[in-house]
Structure 1
Amino acid sequence: MPSPIPVTRLLPKDLCPSLDTGTCSSPLTKHSYGSTLQVPAQRLRGKVAVRLWSSVIHWKHLCSVQPVGSGGFGSVYKAEYFGETVALKKVKKCTKNKLASQQSFWAELNAAHLRHKNIVRVIAATTCVPADFGDEGSIGTILMEFVGRRNLQQIIYGGAEALGEDRWVRYSSDIVHGLRFLHSHSVVHLDIKPANVLVTSEDVCKIADFGCSFKLDPGYEVSAIRHQPLVGGTYTHRAPELLKGEGVSPKADIFSFGITLWQLLTREPPYTGDREHVLYAVVAYNLRPSVQDHPVFRSESGRQFRGLLSQCWSGEPHCRPSAEELLSYLEQLRSKI
């Protein structure tokens, strides 16, 4: 399957997407991040390296596939793989924009080599799917750790459970821990929002859905405009510089985090009105969610969060804090609660 991003940028030369229905010589093993598919060590430039994900899915060991949900570019299922519960994502072939749907699949792998407690872990991915598992509308399949069915969107809007200050700060810290790690490896998520933050049974947040993500070139903090991703993300959370077609940087994720944090604090939608009006007003008039009248911002910690929000969603990317700076601020708040 052709990709707008060269496969060699994403997969090592000795690993390419392939179909393997035979037995697996690499069992699922336990480590500090949970279960993972451990691929045999390989010698690269005289050093031994262990891959933490595979470009081969062993379909004979995949069973009990049950639908969980679907989005713009894919459908997610719960399944069993070598006796472990996993999440299976099929990336759809979008008939209106085939290039964008292909880019979405390859973007999912930008963080596949990374391991962090606040990021959903990739186990395996391939573009080769047997007929009894795939369909003509699928570009590829990705196996990931199964975190659960809860996301932050459901907790904010769908439940009656209280969200006290301790949970605001804890959830926010989890997200920013994940962003700091991604940004330190030059990966920008570009679609941070409550629906893309999964919450485990232990109440830990994990960043998911990297279909809009972007890998910055080594040594660059901002991409050139020609590198603007085709996949747009969610307009309510998209930074104004991206709406204007300017370069991508980690500060775009900080803007999106600011909108997400406001939702977590208020449990309200960030904007009302039609999409075109919101897009125009965010860029032309610095439209942001209101922090004036909501009672949550009247407490001492609420006033502190109000100041933090204004920094996160500044119209100028260089005025926004880094994930490292955000984390330090959140840890100070957490110590006072």
Structure 2
Amino acid sequence: MAENRLVQGRYRLLDTIGRGGMGEVWRARDESLGRQVAVKCLKPLGPRHEPSFLQVLRERFRREARVAAALQHRGITVVHDFGEDAGTLFIVMELLNGRNLSQLLDDNRRQPLPVRDVVEIAEQVTAALAYTHEQAVVHRDLKPANIVRTTDGTVKICDFGIARLGHDIGFTARLTGTGIAMGSPHYMSPEQIGAHAIDHRSDLYSLGCVLYELATGVPPFDLGDAWAVLVGHRDTAPAPPRTLRPDLPEPYERIMLELLAKDPDDRPRDADDLAKRLADARHRHPARRAPADPDDTAATPRLPSWTRGMTLGSPAGAARRPPRPTADPATTVLTDTWTGGGDPRGGDASPAVPLASPAPPDDRRAALTGRLESAHALSRRGRYFDAHQCYAEVLADQQRALGPDHPDTLGCRHHLARNLGRLGRLEDCLAMTREVAEARARVLGARHPDTLTTRCELAHVLGKLGNWAAALQIYQQVAAARAAALGPDHPDTLAARYEVGIGLGRLGRSAEALALYRDLIAARTRTQGADGPDTLRARHGLGVNLGQLGRWQEALVEAREVAAARERVLGPDHPDTLVSRRETAVALGWLGRWNDALDGYRQVADARERVLGAAHPDALTSQSDLAQCLEQLGRADEAAALHRRVASLRRQRARRER
């Protein structure tokens, strides 16, 4: 694979961040969603390999994608996409910011990790294994290099390359029949070595090997060659960890030795059983902080590091507004749990009317509200997978307590669906959003503000999937319904009309978009003023569509005026100001005024580098714009030097993020 290659027209490969037996892992940019991801590519293999061998490797790679994509847990790396491009199989995964456990040991000069870190890692990996085993998936290659601890303390299992479903024996037989190594010697269970039946307890043995190494600095059988290591796993009892690490609490030594039992029946029966043993050990012998830590008090129990920064949301006892009489239950606004406490029609929010079952006690409902706020906070911080887990748990409780059609339940489903889109699971997001829109229309009414909000989200997802014709139709219907219910100048009506303009432009109907944007600018000016952010946003849309119609001189005038207004209102370095200044440079380029465009591109690049840093993705994009402009001016040497600088900065950024 080559740097800067565009995979399947979407994923721009930036630089390699890892290599293994099956392939390479690249840091990449998802051009559709504007986020960084990791792309794992199956290495092209030469003709010296037998076709059957290549087929097995390809099947194994596809299997990793299918297995990993089906797993949704905070302790498992998220898989966003999978496919084949020009004969190369690839998997798109979340880009983890952290270190794998092997690297952590290397960072610590192969010395044992602190006991509290070993305990936290053990508990989080155990929780992830409990989930995967419930899905009948056995990892079969658990080792320090396949477990990552991110910068916020979350521990994630990676690389399901040789995982198998518990009921899929035939696939395993086909793979092992090729002679491909099915695991790593230092972490293989005795049953793997002896080719006996393998189940979830094999993963528990491998976890025991990992914990032993974290706690002592060496694997349980640190012998001279691979064969001696395998024989050790099969025939030799490991040295008790406390002979190498005397300060290791005895309960944890006992757990490690139980995990390393030769007979699977002598190990903990499953990951849930292991979790209970770890909790009991923590209770009996807490892993304390270093004495110098001022927070290390007996009265304050230590929470796992991944809980740092989480919020409980609104206080459970917060006062609620009294209900406001309404003649029509179908127009009752949802609780301020997710509407923010404001009625879209301008009044205060009233409590939701229970439609499916009696409301739960106040303390239970308050707890659900607090947990929902925690999910919102995680989503706002970009921790979409953690938010997904939280939303799913709250939804399950709401369905039990309130019923599937209660407005609060539907509100949580709305947010869960939206978060699926942020995770890149657009098809799942589309299906759930459509279901919520239909349910809200049935329960609340087709013109209820919350129904229309979900329909807007449905149109948004359709647009991301490229179905702009359907998206435009929904936006037009929502705009008409809001105009009838709220008035033509209501902010929600104008927001929907702006999205109609986006849809028209995407479908090449720029002449219609121009007329819409002109009306929208007039309405926004009446309600918000000529310099209001939404007024300027509509003017920006007008300029973009002028350009799409080839009316570049008019587009240039509009872009300059909007840039000047945004600089006056928002400041010279505000992101919106810089976007308008870039649009000005684009128009100058189309008019053949490349010297003037060069000044604009340089100003934007300098501002983004000053504000965001040289290695920020937006700053790098601006530097690339500048290099392309230099090429247009025939200044190839300067352009090449700038391209090299961008590539170097991207590599530096990748190294910092590892």
Q: Deviations over 1:70-97 (max 9, x none)?
A: 1111111111112111110012355373
Instruction: Write the distance in 1 (CA, Å) between the matches of 2:112 and 2:238.
Output: 25
Q: How does 1:200-215 map to 2 (within 5 A)?
A: 200-215=150-165
**SS of the residue 1:66 aligns to:** strand
Matched, 1:325 2:273: yes
User: Which structure 2 residues correspond to residues 115-134 of structure 1 after superposition, within 5 A?
Assistant: 115-126=72-83, 128-130=84-86
The TM-score normalised by the length of structure 1 is 0.72
Residue number among 228, 234, 248 corresponding to 2:184 in the alignment: 234
Q: Which has the larger radius of gyration?
A: 2
User: Which residue, 257, 282, 292 being the options, matches 1:310?
Assistant: 257
1:225 and 1:251, CA in 2 relative to 1: closer, same or farther beyond 3 A?
farther
- Secondary structure of the residue that 2:262 maps to in structure 1? coil
Distance 2:200 2:146 in 1: 17
C-alpha distance in 1, partners of 2:145/2:67? 19
Map 1:191-202 → 2, pairs under 5 A: 191-202=141-152
CA root-mean-square deviation: 2.5
For residue 96 of structure 2, what is the aligned residue in structure 1? 147
Shift of 1:60: 2.6
Sort the Cα spacing of 1:205 and 1:252 in 2 relative to 1 into closer, same or farther, 3 A: same
Does structure 1 retain, via aligned residues, the 8 Å contact 2:28–2:38? yes
Deviation at 1:315, TM superposition (A): 0.9
What residue identity is the alignment partner of 1:141? Answer: F
Paired letter, 2:63: A
Specify the alignment match of 2:526 in structure 1.
Answer: none
The residue number in structure 1 matching 2:139 is: 189
Match in the other structure for 2:196: 246
Q: Shift in Å at residue 229 of structure 1?
A: 4.6
- Which residue does 1:265 correspond to in 2? 215
User: Can you list the C-alpha shifts for 1:111-137, whole angstroms capped at 9, x where unaligned?
Assistant: 3112100000110111x203xxxxx6x
Equivalent-residue separation in structure 1 for 2:210 and 2:112 (angstroms)? 17
> How many angstroms does 1:290 deviate by?
5.0
Distance (whole Å) between structure 1 residues aligned to residue 125 and residue 224 of structure 2: 28
Q: CA deviation at 1:287?
A: 4.6
1:106 aligns with 2:53: no
The answer as to 2:86 corresponding to 1:86 is no
2:130 maps to 180
Q: CA deviation at 1:149?
A: 4.9
Between the aligned partners of 1:226 and 1:141, the Cα distance in structure 2 is: 22
Pick closer, same or farther for the CA change 1:163–1:281 going to 2, 3 Å. Answer: closer
For the structure 1 residues 313 and 178, does the alpha-carbon distance in structure 2 shift closer, same or farther, using more than 3 Å as the test? same
Q: Secondary structure at the match of 2:103?
A: helix
The number of equivalent residue pairs is 265
2:105·2:217 contact (CA, 8 Å) conserved in 1? yes
Answer 1 or 2: higher relative contact order, Cα 8 Å, separation at least 6.
1
- Determine which structure has the larger helix proportion and give its number: 2
Question: Against the structure 1 CA distance between its residues 225 and 125, is the aligned structure 2 distance closer, same or farther, given a 3 Å change threshold?
Answer: closer
Distance 1:233 1:250 in 2: 14
CA distance in 2, matches of 1:292, 1:163: 14
8 Å CA contact retained: 1:278, 1:287: no
CA apart distance, 1:291? 2.6
Q: Distance in 1 between matches of 2:24 and 2:35?
A: 20
Query: Are 2:202 and 2:264, in contact at CA under 8 Å, matched by a contact in 1?
Result: yes
* Partner Cα separation in structure 2 for residue 307 and residue 145 of structure 1: 36
Q: Which residue is 2:300 aligned to?
A: none
Q: Alpha-carbon deviation of 1:319?
A: 1.5
- Partner residue, 1:32: none
Cα drift, residue 226 of structure 1: 6.7
Please point out which of 144, 156, 161 is paired with 2:105. 156
Amino acid in structure 2 at the alignment position of 1:324: D
Instruction: Summarize the alignment of residues 212-227 of structure 1 with structure 2, pairs less than 5 Å apart.
Output: 212-217=162-167, 227=173
Residue 242 of structure 1: CA displacement?
Answer: 1.2
Sort the Cα spacing of 1:253 and 1:111 in 2 relative to 1 into closer, same or farther, 3 A.
same
Name which of structure 1's ranges 78-87 and 60-69 shifts more when overlaid on structure 2.
60-69
Distance (Å, rounded) in 2 between the aligned partners of 1:307 and 1:224: 36
CA contact (8 A) 1:225 1:246 kept: no
Shift of 1:305: 1.7
The answer on whether the counterparts of 2:112 and 2:217 sit within 8 Å (CA) in structure 1 is no
2:227 is equivalent to residue 276 of structure 1:
yes
- Equivalent residue letter for 2:195: G
**Kept after mapping to 1: 8 A contact 2:75/2:127:** yes
Aligned residue runs from structure 1 range 159-170, under 5 A: 159=108, 163-170=113-120
Task: State the Cα deviation string for residues 243-291 of structure 1 (Å, max 9, x = none).
Answer: 11111200110000000000110122441211112222322x2353553
- Give the gaps of 5 or more residues in structure 2: 1-5, 288-658
Q: Once the 2 structures are TM-superposed, how far is the Cα of residue 182 of structure 1 from its aligned partner?
A: 0.2
